Amino acid sequence: MQPAQRRYGGVHGDERRARRRARLIEAGLDLLSEDQGEANLTVRSVCARSGLAARYFYESFPDREALALAVYDHVVEEIATTTAAAVAVGPNDARARTRAGLDNIVRLIVDDPRRGRLLFSTAFLSPSLARRRLEAAELFPRLLGGHTRAFFGVPGSAVLDLAAQFAVGGLAQALTAWLHGHLEIDQERLVDHCTDMFLALMSLALREDER
């Protein structure tokens, strides 16, 4: 039998560690989203930003690279999870569900611009973080293709996979340009037009599969 955990201020040790880890990830997101990207991220800078001692950093992460990956995973997981939830609760209508998902993505990035800078910035140095970005770039097309297949009750295909890759890649580029002020369009119109383009592209892919 494991010994009972000690409580400080009514909080168990595991919960305190989880809270400290969350503070470190928040500090890491701050630093990674700044101009120099990963170059800003050191154990010292993270500890200073989070207000935690170095021993608490090493309690959760072996090095700064592990923290960088955890920060990136946190942002991607948050976007993927909340977007899937937004789509799931929408009405049984292709446009409504597509718009709900895109609106969630755009809103998350607007509400916390650090997310957008982390996802779309080129100021990354380590090969491991670059690989993680490539892995994340594969996640969202899989999600889009999966939702399309489930909604329309169709099997997967190379054409549908191609359309999903193209749609997600185009969305990433459009959001990058918009966040940098290169697209003069308001948030609602951005979501509306992206929704129309998503639907047109996926509909084209579905028609090709029917031939």
Q: What is the pLDDT of residues 176-198, one digit of tens each?
A: 899 889 999 999 999 999 999 98
In this predicted structure, what is the pLDDT of residue 202? 85
Ramachandran quadrant class, 106 (left: phi over 0; alpha: psi -120 to 50; beta: rest): alpha
- Phi and psi at residue 2, to the nearest 5°: -75, 145
Reported as a pLDDT band with limits 50, 70 and 90, residue 1 is very low
Reported as a pLDDT band with limits 50, 70 and 90, residue 88 is confident
In this predicted structure, what is the pLDDT of residue 211? 61
Q: How far apart are CA 14 and CA 17, in angstroms?
A: 5
Alpha helix positions (H), 42-157: 43-50, 54-60, 64-88, 94-111, 113-120, 127-152
Percent of the chain with pLDDT over 70: 91
In this predicted structure, what is the pLDDT of residue 2? 45
In this predicted structure, what is the pLDDT of residue 191? 95
CA distances from 95 to 21, 168, 177, 199 (A): 39, 16, 24, 7
